[in-house]
Structure 1
Amino acid sequence: MGELNMEGQYLIYGLAGIILLFLMIRLLKWPIKILINGIIGVVILYLANFIIANLGLIGINVNFSLAINPITALIAGFFGVPGVIVLIIIRLFL
């Protein structure tokens, strides 16, 4: 009476698999979000450096660039354009 038939075992394995998949997705959601924000930050920093480098073409002499490293990429990724503006201000005054 205590034994499950084959269909019952498949049902238990399926439910356990769904719960395990749900837990894995919940655990991986945060690191994937940080990775995506970092990639977006690198793109924003690259575009900012490209724009800064090309200001010399219109007569504005600017002699600096923003470093692209994990910290600045995450700042730019999390805060977007305001984060890049803060990085530029920090680079100019420090």
Structure 2
Amino acid sequence: MEDKKSEDFYIRLKEQLQITTVWPSNYLYKFIVLTEIEKIQQIHSIFDNAGAVIESKKSKNGKYTSVSITVNLKNPDEVIKKYKEVGEIPGVISL
């Protein structure tokens, strides 16, 4: 069931991105993750060599870290590919 739900999400996202954005374009990803260096590094590694600007900010109590990534991508398919790659990391919430 989860796979069907996420496929529908990606189909809608792709349609929205095609309508609202002129490609290539900068895209802003936002993720929330437990403050674990390993998980944060995994997210960083997905965007290595992509010319991404990555900002991390810990929550007030330090338990969670928000990771904002701005990267220039060619098309909506590239946007979705990165979401799926980050989605493989357990415990990461995409906003």
TM-score computed with the length of structure 2 as normaliser: 0.28
The structure richer in helix per residue is 1
The structure richer in strand per residue is 2
- Which structure ranks higher in relative contact order (CA pairs < 8 Å, sequence separation ≥ 6)? 2
